[in-house]
Amino acid sequence: MTGTEYERWCAQELAKLGYKNIRMTKGSHDQGIDLIASDRGISWGFQCKYYSSPVGNDAVQQAYAGMTYYGLDRAAVLTNMTFTSPAETLAEETGVELWESFKPGEDTDASVILRIPAVILLIWTLYAFFVSLEQPQPDQREMTVLAFALLSSASAFPGAKKSGALIFSCVCALLFIVPSLAMRAHTGLAAGFAVLLVLCLIRITVYRKQRMMNEYRDEKEELKKLIRNTRERYAEEIRIHLEDHLRTQVSVTGIQEKKDGTLVLSCTSAAKENEIALCEYTLNKEAEYEKTPVRFALTYTGGRTFTVKAVRNPDQK
């Protein structure tokens, strides 16, 4: 898979996860963002990295810079691999999300290795079957055994990606191999189906492993989405409180979460510096009165912008 193919695959997977308005940026001039999408009114930028080794913090820097360049709300780096420790640390500081092991199922050679012998055995079995039919008095037991061989090879060829078809192929192969060896007939063909049986069992094992990995990845993405939704709901509650105290409209332009659980909001409003300081005092007094284990730190950064830190108070549970 090339980098461009991986980007297209990521776009398809994001659509399955519910993201809307997905579009690819301009290749080499993407400014650190490969895909742009939206989710419930929040704009996202995705940097896609199809690597053979862990992804470093350069990708995080690019994604963060691209988020700023395109004026997006959030950014994430998607990769088929994992991330280095420096990349994880930088992601915590910048608020860039890291999606590791985000990759298609490993189909590749396993299906091809199974299909080629299945086709060969299908042709070989058809030949043996028609030769037996041309005999004056065909042996019914032999015809029945060959019928199972036909079913085995016929189901293994198109069902190389389906666990149920492969299990059926294994059963039919056994129903052919055992009588053939007992009757000492078609021993060469029986050896071929023994190889097919082993390949089917290997493919079933690979298929089940892929399925478990896909389920794990889907569960992990659902958990990330749940955490993100919870964080955004909490940020919305804080925004509403800020509007009540400042008596002016407040917009949240960025959300970051630190390793210690501290939530950092980047906000804009028409409030003045002294009003923001008074708001901080009021919010903390309310939190203290209600025995809420969270304290707030509001910092005026100039113009119409300020930041809000929601810090968990270690003295309260």
* Residue 216, domain member (yes or no): no
Question: Is the same domain home to 23 and 93?
Answer: yes
Each residue's pLDDT tens digit, 241-278:
899 999 999 998 878 777 677 888 889 999 999 999 99
* Residue 212, domain member (yes or no): no
Q: pLDDT at position 314, please? A: 53
Q: pLDDT at position 106, please? A: 52
Question: Is the same domain home to 54 and 92?
Answer: yes
Question: Is the same domain home to 38 and 85?
Answer: yes
Strand partners, 55: 83
Structure tokens, 74: 């959030």
Please state the pTM of the whole predicted model. Answer: 0.50
pLDDT for residue 42 is more than 80: yes
Amino acid at the residue 1? M
Q: pLDDT at position 183, please? A: 86
* Residue 55, domain member (yes or no): yes
Question: Is the same domain home to 97 and 184?
Answer: no
* Residue 258, domain member (yes or no): yes
CATH number where 90 lies: 3.40.1350.10
The overall average pLDDT reported for the chain is 85
Question: Is the same domain home to 176 and 116?
Answer: yes
Question: Is the same domain home to 70 and 139?
Answer: no
Question: Is the same domain home to 302 and 252?
Answer: yes
Question: Is the same domain home to 62 and 95?
Answer: yes
- Domain boundary among the residues 188, 207, 226 is at 207
Each residue's pLDDT tens digit, 94-116:
889 999 888 776 555 556 777 88
Each residue's pLDDT tens digit, 20-33:
999 998 765 668 89
* Residue 308, domain member (yes or no): yes
Each residue's pLDDT tens digit, 223-240:
777 777 788 888 899 999
Question: Is the same domain home to 87 and 148?
Answer: no
* Residue 215, domain member (yes or no): no
Question: Is the same domain home to 127 and 185?
Answer: yes
Into how many domains does the chain fold?
A: 3
Question: Is the same domain home to 139 and 191?
Answer: yes
Q: pLDDT at position 317, please? A: 44
* Residue 224, domain member (yes or no): no
What average pLDDT score do residues 13-18 get?
86
- Domain boundary among the residues 52, 80, 104 is at 104
> Which structural domain range is residue 153 located in?
108-207
* Residue 137, domain member (yes or no): yes
Each residue's pLDDT tens digit, 187-226:
888 999 999 899 888 888 877 877 787 677 677 777 777 7
- Domain boundary among the residues 83, 104, 125 is at 104
Question: Is the same domain home to 89 and 22?
Answer: yes
Task: State what percent of residues in the chain have pLDDT above 70.
Answer: 93
